[in-house]
Structure 1
Amino acid sequence: MAIIEVRHLTKRFGPKVVLRGLDLSVAEGEFVALLGPNGAGKTTLLRILASLSKPTLGEVWIAGYRLSDQAAWVRRRLGVVSHQPLLYGDLSAEENLRFYARLYGLKNAEARVREILNLVGLWARRRDLVRTFSRGMQQRLAIGRAILHDPEVLLLDEPHTGLDQEACDMLDHLLRQVAALGRTVVMTSHDLARAADLASRFDVLSGGRIQASARREDLAGDALLTFYRQALIPDPNVVSERAQA
């Protein structure tokens, strides 16, 4: 069963077309690594899925809700980690999580906040203002914010950015736990080795469309790199379309 369904998605910024009639279907419980070069539209796609940006054309359904007119219902089912941490600098770590717990109407909020702070390694800094945190610590807390309400779908835009090795290992462990619970994850990444280690499926975005998709079991050894490179070989039809646009 598809928990994310994207049909004929187009996104324009003035004359520039970033997404070109993109189709995407993600089954419940899949961990999809969204790969592609800089400027391919990966962040744009995730922002649309997260209801942070509106498509020019096309439709998106998440957990059975149509994003165009049921965005509030969709947001309650999403956890999002973007390039902006979406945290309040003049609140402490625990105050930030308490605020989001109230937004989501969480029961046993204090216990959940304590659990998350321990999970992301920030319990000792729980009373410190977020504006005093390093980039990596803010990223840890942003990840905690995203999973606080146990969302059905987790959207991650380069989540390892700014994290040291210890924090990266922590995040990998956490993502494996989320996946083991049957939650759906879509993660953009430039790190093929990390993507290969975490994801169950790999989609390559280029030319405004998903050019290729493969499952982990179909790729042996270091075949992900070969698959990725082949997916980026220009399609003559796409080149022709761009010339006509």
Structure 2
Amino acid sequence: MVPIVLRTACHLRPQLHPMVNGQPDRAINVIGLGKRFGARWVLRGVSLEVRRGEAVGLLGSNGSGKSTVLRILGTLLNPNAGTGAINGLDIVRDASSVRGQIGYLAHTPGLYDDLTARENLRFAADMLGLPYAAAQGSLERVGLGYAAGDRVRGFSAGMQRRLALARLILRNPRVLLLDEPYSNLDAEGVDLMNSVIGDVVRSGGAALVALHELAPAKATLDRTLTLVEGRIEAAHAERAPRERATSISETR
């Protein structure tokens, strides 16, 4: 049985995670992460790290625990055991500060269907304190400028995925947490997603990408981890570092 670590609420200023302090190259650091729903443990002592300037794939079948790892790192769930940090910030104690560092793309887009693409991004811009021009820039960047005035309920699944990506890059995140990001994307959309990942990583950020199929991301990832029934079972280097997909600006 995975030991349970009890956490108490506190209102302290953000503090460096003890295992990250002195190791500034780690963007993501997870040690012994455990999560259960009822009596069932879905994560069993998961440990992993992603360094700055690195993109790592988290491979696994449905139900392996990939999404749960990302939801915990994205501060949407608390772990029952273990610890995690994003850029040295504890994901539970410093959750609010962690949210300012990450760009989390869920498997479902989470958009407002009755709003237009532009209105969705303007709402996000308002929440972030950004000018509306930033929203239009994000739409253009993902190739949806032509559909800015269209309601999202009429979008295809691939267009919705692009719009969710536009909302993510609006935040200018330092760490990407992407859950099956290639779902419903055509070849051009796959290239776009890889370019966004590459842009963040080349700028000194990092990415953790949950996948059930490696092929779309293979050229972008530095290495992969395989998750089986809530445990890391294998790790593989995918290619030499720095051989990344070209940036969005270079592909236009």
Query: TM-score with structure 2 length normalisation?
Result: 0.81
1:130 is aligned to 2:160: no
Partner-residue secondary structure (3-state), 2:218: helix
1:105 maps to amino acid: G
Are 1:76 and 1:104, in contact at CA under 8 Å, matched by a contact in 2? no
**Aligned ranges 1:1-245 → 2 under 5 Å:** 1-106=25-130, 109-217=131-239
> Equivalents in 2 of 1:97, 1:162: separation in Å?
21
Structure 2 runs not aligned, ≥5 long: 1-24, 242-252
Two-structure CA RMSD over aligned residues (Å): 1.7
More helix by share: 1
Deviations, residues 189-228 of structure 1 (Å, cap 9, x unaligned): 1222223211012111113222222323479xxxxxxxxx
Shift of 1:31: 0.2
Deviations, residues 65-84 of structure 1 (Å, cap 9, x unaligned): 11112111111111111122
Structure 1 runs not aligned, ≥5 long: 220-245
> Equivalents in 1 of 2:118, 2:83: separation in Å?
37
Are 2:50 and 2:207, in contact at CA under 8 Å, matched by a contact in 1? no
2:140 maps to amino acid: N
Runs of 4+ in structure 1 deviating by more than 4 angstroms, as ranges, are: none
Deviations, residues 98-143 of structure 1 (Å, cap 9, x unaligned): 111122223xx23322221111111011011112211111110001
Are 1:62 and 1:74, in contact at CA under 8 Å, matched by a contact in 2? yes
Shift of 1:87: 1.5
Partner-residue secondary structure (3-state), 1:198: coil
Identity %: 44
2:121 maps to amino acid: L
> Equivalents in 2 of 1:176, 1:60: separation in Å?
24
Partner-residue secondary structure (3-state), 1:87: coil
